[in-house]
Amino acid sequence: MRKSPRRAIKREITPSFNKPLPEYKINFFVIFIASIAAIGGILFGFDTGVISGAILFIKHQYLLSSFENGVVVSASLIGAVLGSATSGWSADYFGRKRSLMFASLIFMAGTLGSAFAMSIPHLIESRFVLGFAIGIASFTAPLFISEIAPPRMRGALVSLNQLAVTVGIFVSYFVRVFKLL
């Protein structure tokens, strides 16, 4: 029996990415570690959302001008730009886990500084430090998650970081509404 030429051609040009990935069991430890790494996303979202409610009180307490108001809000974004610009180097030099641990220490310092700020310059500095941690975590967490995730779960686990950002924004608005009631 002779094979048809079309069938032979079809076999030759069938791409290898159509092959199914090997079966695997769901590894809950990997999901747990990815969730821990995504906590930086929750902090990023919370910091982004919470300032919208807090700035109303900060503006009245410190009698901020519009320019100062903008600087307080944008200080974390400026820090995030610098943090993300340096995070590639730090993730390569120190490793992903150590970079995430360093970012968590910076998050703590920035949060404590923001909570106990007695002046506008101190608040701006603290928010800048928070932004620096946001920049490191925003780059390093998805990178770390993609490296530990099995191929079949990689997309879902990396998107966990973006879900964490959204959850952080939601929680910050929920806290704001709860405080106003």
Q: Is 79 helix (H, G, I), strand (E, B) or coil?
A: helix
C-alpha distances in Å from residue 155, one per residue of 20, 34, 38, 142, 171? 16, 12, 14, 10, 24
Range of weakest confidence among 2-6, 119-123, 138-142, 165-169: 2-6
**Which pLDDT tens digit goes with each residue over 62-74?**
888 999 999 999 9
C-alpha distances in Å from residue 108, one per residue of 12, 63, 67? 57, 27, 27
- Asked if 90 and 102 touch (Cβ cutoff 8 Å), the reply is yes
- Asked if 96 and 44 touch (Cβ cutoff 8 Å), the reply is no
**Which pLDDT tens digit goes with each residue over 82-110?**
999 999 999 999 999 999 999 999 999 99
- Asked if 168 and 41 touch (Cβ cutoff 8 Å), the reply is yes
The rounded distance, in Å, linking the Cα atoms of 7 and 125 is 68
How many CB atoms within 10 Å of residue 143?
17
Sequence-separated (6 or more) residues with CB below 8 Å from residue 107:
40, 43, 130, 133, 137
What is the model's pLDDT at position 181? 34
Domains of the chain are 28-180 (1.20.1250.20)
**Which pLDDT tens digit goes with each residue over 144-168?**
999 999 888 899 999 999 999 999 9
**Which pLDDT tens digit goes with each residue over 1-39?**
555 555 555 555 555 566 665 666 778 899 999 999 999
